[in-house]
Structure 1
């Protein structure tokens, strides 16, 4: 085999010295690759790696000219065809839909995004035995399940005599897997599966069982090429899983996710019913909406946290700039405005779970949407007082949180806030001073535990330069943070009135503040607790008899 690779490598290197935009050169290289395949050159891992290196090189040139040259176009599709046979997932998905109208295709409109997410490469690494476990979390309707169905159809062609198992929370969902894979295998007008795998024996009349939701290709086998079965349904004697264990939405939804007992049972059922079906070297892929940190993917993440052969792909609705990650060609995706509308219509926790892949434990949530008072307009009079309270930031990943509250009687309207994880101290000082100056804040308190004394002094200097005044004080707190947050939450719910959701965006400081407030849990670990902490500080300040304050800065007269 080494001699064969050496011989063809010499031929291909010689051709690559010529102008690769010359169709004749492209054609000679294409024929050389086909000859290498015919000689059995790709039957080994070494040979497969060799031919894929050169096919990728040729594909680059023929793709460029395929729009204007029929021969280059034919070679482009020809390269995709033999790459499909060689387990290249990207090429397989493209060639599988070769005959479909562009606006009817599933993969091509989504391809650019899927590649950027690392989704395609992760599936390829699973096929190439570089990883053993892959989980995928993306918003509903983004195409993750159909990508999984494409994968299953390919696996059945590449390894026709190895059984696979696909499971979900219900028989209705597993039926969609069965129907989806079945259509790919049986519809030659829409899909080219038979063209990619002509040597794989498949008779739909004998190979498909709709009642049992099984499909068999290749040799007759007690354990079918694909068995689709809901988790919890009987699997005893039904199948073994030798190549892919595919799990899609094992958690049925919010009701199951809200019950720790049901999630624990789901995890146990996964281990006893699904995982026990796996044979050695069987791969595992999980696709799911993340409802809870205690769902199956959550358990797997903790178990395989440092495992280099496990990969967790998670793509939220919004990118780092607040724009949609799922704007696909032909309008088949979701716009930024669509996700913003969904965010406004849902509670923060549900949106984080469904669309941001950020599961939150509802059972221990301290603040619920229904608990909070909201306002659209401020009272039509001058506030009795204007207050601010600051939870300053360390060098870590916590937030500088500083709300401004207008007092009207016993009510405090939170009109503005800083909620910023920027570690640049100069930025912190300037933002805080601007906030106090803009709102004419009369009294502000800075917690001094995290360098609050220094922050207060620097803010006071900048405020004086702006010709503003605020009674700025500092306080060192010794009270346990979690206890303080819990104890003062009822006062916050009763006396603080927050902006209506229509008056802020999820990406601005106010939106980030509210999101962190509404997802704080007393039952689990919180990545960021700064907003509930600063609200507890403010509540303690307003309800505790005041000692003589430590004033930072002097009156400008």
Structure 2
């Protein structure tokens, strides 16, 4: 059917369809809300293109009613509706909707029981935590009798969750009460950071508690366990022991609070592959009911992924400036979702084992690996490792950014001096030619080293050998 929306009678047809869907909802909830998306789409379009103000106003309020109809069932509709009366430039969702709609759909997938676990990594300031707060208010309104937990690395951060949720539920600027009429706040406690809806309960509707705060006996988690930035920063991320301790806190203090059917959401800056999201990804990477999302600051064309409307996001120039200002590790972790290990910072000083002399028995092998000098201030790095079972003793190394001729001579000398049996060279733009020259000179001088090539990014001995 083709509608002529310049006619008020055709508007009436759309409104009649909407009223029919409201009645049909009792018979077929899923289908009624599916068809209502057409009402939402048509009414939103006609607000902009209606031939007169009177018709535009009618479609405007029809759009509002159709969003309210879906708001309990559809997170996207909920986000649009509760900010409907706010000034466009003050809204959180619509200025960002184009870029974050895929995340909203993933959260919807959790609620529709498509997933049990969702993790999300985005640059700071792009709205990931605020979106999480809106999601909590939606879940609390839908299930006021059920308990949820929101956690983070500090009390200051969990307090922001508590304040944010309370503001959306109580501030008349948000239309939360329209979506959940009759649902009232029964109890709040700013010290304990708890919010109870409908009636006071032993386990509140929402408990906000840092990862170091005690949850023993305080609450359970029936619907959602929400964790936002459990790692405090790069200092913690650089310590494997601290990350092991964090994982133990998560499993013992947070995950153990979950009841059967409880979902998990993790939002974080990806500092390390050993952080909670990294370990969850390793554990559940093949599980179809787990989804891992990461959105870097810049896309494959080196352009911003978060250039929102009204200037509330970050344009390409901003991210380029941050990249030029920050050290490489911070840029990659904070803005590109690349944990520090992926750039070669594998070992923290307090995690290295040290020795005074090599074992007395004969080694199993003597091996080396070379990250060749590429250009500019880049360094060539070649460690020599004596292998004893599963242990690698780094006896010597070359780390040099001198002229290529000097570096190559030093590489040849160390391979000959330690009688290295096997060495793998990184095959970057310069590595292939250097490997051939070094191999030829080593053989010419009676050395035994067998050199192979592999295209790598800052390799590590225990990764390759």
TM-score range, shorter chain: 0.7 to 0.9
Instruction: Give the corresponding residue for 2:250.
Output: 270
Q: 1:543 to 1:212 in 2, by over 3 A?
A: farther
Name the stretch that deviates more: 232-241 or 537-546.
537-546
Inter-partner Cα distance in structure 1 for 2:210 and 2:306: 29
Q: 2:271 aligned with 1:285, yes or no? A: no
Show the counterpart of 1:104.
90
Residue 237 of structure 1 aligns to a residue in which SS?
Answer: coil
- Determine if the alignment matches structure 1 residue 30 to structure 2 residue 15: yes
Q: What SS is found at the alignment partner of 1:242?
A: coil
* Shift in alpha-carbon separation, 1:366–1:18, aligned structure 2, 3 A: closer
For 1:149 and 1:88, how far apart are their aligned partners in 2?
16
1:218 lines up with 2:198 in the alignment: yes
Matching of residue 534 in structure 1 with residue 431 in structure 2:
yes
* In the alignment, structure 1 residue 58 sits paired with structure 2 residue 47: no
1:488 and 1:539 in contact (8 A); partners too: no
Partner of 2:233: 253
* Structure 1: distance between partners of 2:399 and 2:433: 9
Cα distance 1:308–1:363, how it changes in 2: closer, same or farther (>3 A)? closer
1:492 equivalent in alignment to 2:400: yes
User: Structure 1's 530 and 347: CA in aligned 2 closer, same or farther, altered over 3 A?
Assistant: farther
Check if 1:77 corresponds to 2:64.
yes
Distance 1:539 1:258, change over 3 A: farther
Are the structure 2 counterparts of residues 496 and 276 from structure 1 closer, same or farther at C-alpha, using a change threshold of 3 Å?
farther
Q: How does 1:232-381 map to 2 (within 5 A)?
A: 232-361=212-341, 365=345
CA distances 1:257-308 after superposition (whole Å, capped 9, x unpaired): 0000110111111011111111111111000000000100001111111111
Whole-angstrom distance in 2 between the partners of 1:64 and 1:31: 18
- Equivalence for 1:376: none
Aligned to 2:381: none
Counterpart among 91, 111, 136 of residue 77 in structure 2: 91
Q: Assess, with a 3 A threshold, how the Cα gap between structure 1 residues 32 and 234 changes in structure 2: closer, same or farther.
A: same
Query: Post-superposition shift, 1:536?
Result: 10
Deviation, 1:494, is: 5.0
Q: Distance in 2 between matches of 1:153 and 1:529?
A: 51
> Who is 2:355 aligned against?
none
CA contact (8 A) 1:326 1:334 kept: yes
Match of 2:418 in 1: none
Deviation at 1:43, TM superposition (A): 5.3
Contact 1:349 1:362 survives alignment (8 Å): no
Aligned counterparts of 1:177 and 1:539: Cα–Cα separation in 2: 59
The answer to whether the 8 A contact 2:95-2:308 is kept is yes
Alignment partners' CA distance in 1, 2:19 and 2:156:
43
Pair 1:165 & 2:149 matched: yes
Q: What does 1:34-45 align with in structure 2 at a 5 Å threshold?
A: 34-37=19-22, 39=23, 41-42=24-25
Residue 260 to residue 214, structure 1, CA distance change in 2 (3 Å)? same
1:172 and 1:536 mapped to 2: Cα distance? 55
**Structure 2 residues without counterparts, runs of 5 or longer:** 51-55, 349-370, 379-386, 388-393, 406-424, 446-465
Bigger CA drift: 487-496 or 213-222? 487-496
Partner of 1:166, secondary structure, is strand
Superposition deviation, residue 29 in structure 1: 3.9
Q: Which residue of 1 aligns with 2:414?
A: none
In structure 2, distance between residues paired with 1:50 and 1:277: 36
Structure 2 vs 1, CA of residues 30 and 221 (structure 1 numbering), >3 Å: closer, same or farther? Answer: farther
1:199 pairs with 2:182: yes
Aligned to 1:187: 171
SS at match of 1:313: strand
Q: Distance in 2 between matches of 1:212 and 1:172?
A: 12
Q: Residue 196 of structure 2 contacts residue 205 of structure 2 at CA under 8 Å; is this kept in 1? A: yes
CA distance in structure 1 between the aligned counterparts of 2:244 and 2:374, rounded to whole angstroms = 43
Question: How has the CA–CA distance of structure 1 residues 222 and 347 changed in structure 2, closer, same or farther, with 3 Å as cutoff?
Answer: same
- Equivalence map 1:113-192=2 (5 Å): 113-115=99-101, 118-188=102-172, 190-192=173-175
Q: How far is 1:61 from its partner?
A: 1.4
**Alignment CA distance shift 1:230-1:366 (3 Å):** closer
1:257 & 1:153 partners in 2: Cα distance?
A: 31
Corresponding residue SS for 2:65: helix
Whole-Å separation in 1 of the counterparts to 2:157 and 2:242: 20
Tell me the TM-score normalized by structure 2: 0.75
Preserved contact between residue 162 and residue 243 of structure 1 (Cα < 8 Å)? yes
Structure 1 unaligned residues grouped into runs of 5+: 1-15, 369-400, 406-412, 416-479, 481-485, 498-527, 549-557
Q: 1:52 to 1:363 in 2, by over 3 A?
A: closer
Alignment partners' CA distance in 1, 2:136 and 2:44: 27
